[in-house]
Structure 1
Amino acid sequence: MSRLHYTLPVDVVRRFNPQITQSNLESSSSNPEEALIGHKDVDKISARIEGVEAKWNRSARPMRPVRIGSRDAPVYLSAKGAGFPVHAYLDEQNILPLDPNEGDFIERRTGRDTWTDITTREGQAWVADYRMGKLTIFRLPGHGSLPVLRNYRERFVRLSYRLGVGGEYGTAGQTTLTSQLAQGSTTTIGVDDASRLPPSGGVMLVDGAEYVDVASVDHSADEITIRARGVRATSDADRASGSTVHYCPMDVREAVAAKAAEELVRFDDWTDELVDGGRAVQAERKLDDWESEWTNTIAQYSDNYGYQ
């Protein structure tokens, strides 16, 4: 699974020096002195990006699939309506279909401290409007009656689910390659679910490491056509079958990079070594601009809010 989703270390470092490329950040065993910064610093940037991506998911609309709730801390929903069927409403829209193989579950309360797992009873015990985030729970399977419903309408179901992105109802999307993408190849290649990607194409992040320019997306054939490799100063390389293909608006990637750059200046001292002389001062002067870019982009995509 890709470690990073929204932006890469090279995006962050280019905030300090726009001439830097991914190859500058990759030290080789034969010429390690040519590396701009070491692996430990790249890991430090990656860790900072991970933290900023988590902040984005909790502040605005997540731009990648994220899990809501868990077995240890499920989401509890109360019953709405009188009698059966009852309805329960999630805080988010565009939910991925509940799949027990992915760790999703839904349990209906059938007593004070009793829960019945109904995950595999979709269409019989419950149905979902995944687009709107609405659950309808029927009386089946068997436990409970109207008096029980009245007594236990609070916290009537508990569940864990995945918030999806992509397709008609999202501004971002993610799927996976179904075959290897060879280095240097610009071709039409299969993906697992092209409906999760926008039909117009755009710059997408493959394998959490390389930006590619996608000319078009064929939803019916589950294929994407790649126009250019290694764009945005990243490195073109072999990408294995199963690698993620992620799309989100470019201003989101830029905002995450800006926030990560800001935090690196505020909380780390290695940036003074990365930039020369007055450039370090210039980077400090950019902090307010980077923070404004972050907060303005958060506001733009906060209509559905993040998850708590």
Structure 2
Amino acid sequence: MSTGADPIRYATADEVLLALSADTEPATIPDHTRERAIKRAASATEKWINRTGRAFHPVRVGAVDEPRSWEVHDVQDARSWSPAKVILDNARPVPLDPAEGDAIEIRSGRDQWDDVTDEEGDAWTLDYRRRRLRVFERRLAITPRDDPNTSFVRLTYRYGPLGEEVQINEDNVVESAPPDVREAVAAKAASMLALNDNTTLDIPDDGQLTSRASRSEALKAAYEETAAEYSGFSPL
């Protein structure tokens, strides 16, 4: 049984269990195995996002209340210096909204930062399609033990669907994720579940689970095929 406190994910427990064995009757599966399926689906969702960079729900970079976890850029890595132009680490950034906790700060001293979130168009601009951030106002003077070009801007923002409707149900399943992505995430989660000793006691063996290792590898391969299509890169 799942609750609204379940971690966000791109596949349901039933989809994971059916990916593991097509003959599974999800309604007959014990709760403890279903909970494992939910956790594996959440883990597989994180792996999908990290592997492909394609999130189908807003994902935050850094913790709002912990600036040390925010994304930071140096001028040395900029595409240009005046204005300083950098490329954000994540594609498809969502327009910055202070009400959602998004923030951008420019370093004004060794340990001092100025919040310029509400100065879009004046202090900074962001091409959301190209994830290109331009900073027009920054400190240039070098002081002892403080190079203004190092860590000159930091920000916390969200990335994911841009201009698309996101549907997340009460169980925190992103129903608007494409069917092939949901299938791939279910396969990845099932590949992890296949190696669990207790799973084979709860899932009927239709011949697919005879070799858990080979079944897990087949599921991983199915996942990687779709992940490669979305990322444009295959590690195989």
TM-score (norm 1): 0.63
1:155, CA displacement in angstroms? 1.2
Q: Which runs of 5+ in 1 are unaligned?
A: 26-35, 168-172, 177-205, 210-242
Is 1:86 equivalent to 2:73 in the alignment? no
Higher relative contact order (CA 8 A, sep 6+): 2
What SS does structure 1 have at the residue aligned with 2:210?
A: helix
1:245, CA displacement in angstroms? 6.3
1:108, CA displacement in angstroms? 0.1
The CA deviation string for residues 85-112 of structure 1, in whole angstroms up to 9 with x for no partner, is 3222212222101112212111101112
1:61, CA displacement in angstroms? 2.5
Is 1:108 equivalent to 2:101 in the alignment? no
Query: Matches of residues 35-184 of structure 1 in structure 2 within 5 Å?
Result: 36-64=28-56, 65-70=58-63, 71=66, 72-79=68-75, 80=78, 81-83=80-82, 85-139=83-137, 144=139, 146-148=140-142, 151-167=147-163, 173-176=164-167
Structure 2 residue aligned with 1:261: 190
Could you tell me whether the CA contact under 8 Å between 2:194 and 2:215 is conserved in 1? no
Q: Distance in 2 between matches of 1:120 and 1:96?
A: 15
Q: Distance in 1 between matches of 2:200 and 2:147?
A: 60
Q: Which runs of 5+ in 2 are unaligned?
A: none
The CA deviation string for residues 18-68 of structure 1, in whole angstroms up to 9 with x for no partner, is 3556xx43xxxxxxxxxx122222111101111111111111122322111
Give the fraction of aligned pairs with identical amino acids, expressed as a percent: 31
1:277, CA displacement in angstroms? 6.9
Could you tell me whether the CA contact under 8 Å between 2:23 and 2:204 is conserved in 1? no
Q: Which has the higher strand share?
A: 1
What SS does structure 2 have at the residue aligned with 1:15?
A: helix
Q: Which has the higher helix share?
A: 2
Q: Distance in 1 between matches of 2:128 and 2:206?
A: 54
Could you tell me whether the CA contact under 8 Å between 2:21 and 2:206 is conserved in 1? no
Could you tell me whether the CA contact under 8 Å between 2:7 and 2:39 is conserved in 1? no
TM-score (norm 2): 0.80
**Which of residues 266, 270, 276 in structure 1 aligns to 2:199?**
270
Could you tell me whether the CA contact under 8 Å between 2:23 and 2:206 is conserved in 1? no
Is 1:293 equivalent to 2:222 in the alignment? yes
Flag the 1:117–1:259 CA change in 2: closer, same or farther, 3 A: same
1:288, CA displacement in angstroms? 2.4
Structure 1 residue aligned with 2:169: 207
Paired letter, 2:52: A
